[in-house]
Chain A
Amino acid sequence: MKWLVMAFVMICGVVLQTFIPAYAILGQAKLPLLLALVLYYALRHDSNCMLLAAFFAGFLQDVLSPIPLGYSSFCFCIVGLIAGRFRNVVMIESALPPLVFGGAAGAATTVAFYLLLAKEQLIACPLWYLLLKIIGTGVLGALCTPLIFLVAGKFDRMMGNVTMKEETVVLDIE
């Protein structure tokens, strides 16, 4: 059931990410819903689950964009692995960690994508536009990640993948 839920939220995420318009004031940055989902699986689930989520999210993003296959999966896996190291440190129910992680991960992935795509001469954009995009993705990531944590968490609990009891036990151990 866990994998089915993951596939469902990922497909919903990529379709919404494609359809939600981007604004010039934020450097045409897209709402990073897939990245937020990767962070959710990195901080709320085990490493195997996180890696699968990162790979699948990256695959979907590459499929629905001109990015060569594998670039997004690579970036998302790195983000997931870094975020996963903080799994036992952050407070599970607080909105602050997702906000901070979402903002930082959004900005970092934009830089990583720029370096990868510019190296292959697939994109050309001035520095001011890149800075605007980094800020834009950071802001949008900080805004949408807590929301994704809330929605995906509730959905996971509803489907029986994560129980409140399990979360409490984790907190007690810490």
Chain B
Amino acid sequence: MYIKTGSRGNLAPFQNLMSFFLMKIPRTMASFVDSGKALGEQQKMMEEIANLRQEIQGMKALEADNKDLREQLGFRSISKRKLVLCEVVARGDASGWWQTITLNRGSEDGIRPGMAAVTTDGLIGRTTETARRTCDVLLITDPNCKVGCKLVRTGAYGIVRGGGVAAIGATKLEMFCAAAQPCSMDYISKEHPALQGDEVVTSGLGGTYPAGLLLGRVEGARIDPSKLFQQADIVPAAQLSSLKYVFVAVE
């Protein structure tokens, strides 16, 4: 593991160099044109917006739950966590088997595997491998990513699993852009019908993801083949195809 982590760290400059050519140069050109806004100030504001939005989402979840019980169980809301601003330096891994992104921050900034990655819109995934200056995030649309969630309106629990990439039944544009299919929320109790537009937030169960993070909204629901539970299609709240800045919730 140390060999892999160390080597990843040594390859980071090459990734950053490529990222520089692909991202920084057009951005620098844009900053010359639009001289009124400094990039540093923009990043600070984004960080502030992210913190405020996470705080609002955390409060929504708190309203639906029993506050005292949550405190007893020791759940912590995201607003109590520190968010580290990261920049996306690469999309996808070198092998193409997983839906991941690579960020320009790593263990030097306190990031460890299994931490939640969010944007100003909502949850995007969790960190998997970390090096000193980079880390990988497994996106929620990857079929290998499973998140314990609940519906805000009804409080019904379920597990959200990535739907993979649209290849069959998708439009030509979706297929070329590698558009992700909706996630699937399984094991929802039949007693609480899921309706279109219902907000889905992380439940906090399992310990990987903090409670109250917005994941997406229900697109449609049906009874699953076993006829014991409901199954719902969830559209992620975050725009996963155009990620530039990501926050990692570190303790």
Contact = CB atoms under 8 A, between A and B. Distances in A.
A8 B22 CA distance: 20
Interface stretch (B117-125, B164-172, B182-190): B164-172
Nearest to B99: A28
Given A23-B175, A66-B100, A60 B94 contact: yes
Interface size range of chain A in the complex? 35 or more
A30 B179 CA distance: 16
B139 to A, nearest CB: 12
B39 to A, nearest CB: 22
B114 interface: no
A63 B144 contact: no
A96 B14 CA distance: 33
Given A24-B166, A65-B98, A124-B144, A18 B7 contact: no
Contacts of A72: 95
Contacts of B8: 63-64
Nearest to B1: A69
Contact of A65 (B14, B93, B144): B93
Binding site secondary structure of chain A? helix
A66 B129 contact: yes
Given A63-B4, A117-B97, A21 B91 contact: yes
A122 interface: yes
B208 interface: no
A22 B167 CA distance: 12
Contacts of A69: 3-4
18 contacts: A11-B14, A15-B14, A21-B178, A23-B175, A23-B176, A24-B179, A25-B167, A25-B176, A28-B92, A59-B7, A64-B93, A65-B95, A65-B98, A66-B93, A66-B138, A67-B97, A128-B168, A129-B165
Interface of B: 3-4, 7-8, 11, 14-15, 18, 22, 90-100, 102, 128-129, 136, 138, 143-144, 164-168, 170, 174-179
